[in-house]
Structures are given as C-alpha cells and as structure tokens.
Structure 1
C-alpha cells in the first residue's frame, strides 16, 4: 500500500502544469503554487501546503460548502457562499501582493 501511494505521488508530481505567465514574463501569477500546495495536502503536509499557497484552505472550504449546499439546501446558504468566495479571493490577492514585497 505504501509503495502504491509513493508511486501516485511521483506520477502526480511529474504531470504538473508549468506556469506560462512565469515562463513568459518572469513573474508569478495569482495561481502559482496551487498545484504544489494540493500535492502537499495529498501527502499530508498541511503546513507546507499553507506556506506554498495560503488560499488553499479557504478554497477547500468553499468547494466543500458548495458540495454540501447542493446536497442539502438550507437557509442563508447564499450569504455563506459569498463570504467564503470573498475570503478566498482576498487570500489569493493578499498572497499575490505580498510576493512582491
């Protein structure tokens, strides 16, 4: 089982997409680090995932909530969705701007 998990990690890492914005212009895009952060999450390295891309956790909360909302609609779900979307975008933009400092 452990060998199979190691093989999956190696395969995932070799199929990561390159950042064309970084290759063409030499600067990071707002999404740089998302793939590697997701790989860290799969490996169980939660702190490394946050350091690589801090917006990973608000993004996961948003996607999880959207899935739950689809299965079990309830009152005030639009307000919660908007709050999670704003916090995710805020994390992405704050992280992006802090990279330049």
Structure 2
C-alpha cells in the first residue's frame, strides 16, 4: 500500500512541505496500529478523525450540542495543523 502513496507536489515543485505533509504516512501508521508514530508524523490526525466521527454521528443522530462539538474539533484541527506547520518551518 505504501508504494501507492502520492508525493507532495508542493515539496516536489517548490522545495518545502505543505500543511498536509505527513498525513498519508500517519494514516498508514494508524492502520498498522502505531499510534505514537502516527502522532509524530502528523499530529492533527487525531483531531481530524474526531472531527469526522463527530460529523458522521451528528448526521445520523441529531445531538443537542452537535454543532458546538463539530466547531470545537474543527478549530482544534486547524490550530493543530497550523502549529505543526510553524514548528516544521522553524526546525
């Protein structure tokens, strides 16, 4: 499965990583059960999964605070992605 992973076009053409670099490798690590490795490859993978679960659950079951929960995980995901990108750029 790893041989079918797409390369980062941003890194290939411009020479620096994009905000999504590491997501494919992180998902592969998750599928293999390597949770710590998945976090170190792309820290936003867990908030993004929680966001997907919250959206899916709210779609099928109308929760009272579903919108707030989705907003929370969306903001957490964006903040994690931006923080991780800034850390990558500075190191």
Q: CA deviation at 1:97?
A: 0.3
Q: List alignment gaps of at least 5 residues for structure 2.
A: none
The partner residue of 2:40 within 25, 46, 51 is 51
Which residue number in structure 2 is paired with residue 5 of structure 1? Answer: none
Q: List alignment gaps of at least 5 residues for structure 1.
A: 1-11
- 1:63 equivalent to 2:52? Answer yes
Q: CA deviation at 1:62?
A: 0.3
- 1:18 equivalent to 2:25? Answer no
The partner residue of 2:18 within 20, 25, 29 is 29
Q: Deviations over 1:32-74 (max 9, x none)?
A: 0000000000000000000000000000000011111111111
The list of structure 1 runs, each at least 4 consecutive aligned residues, that deviate by more than 6 angstroms after superposition, is none
Q: CA deviation at 1:85?
A: 0.3
Q: CA deviation at 1:100?
A: 1.4
The partner residue of 1:91 within 80, 85, 89 is 80
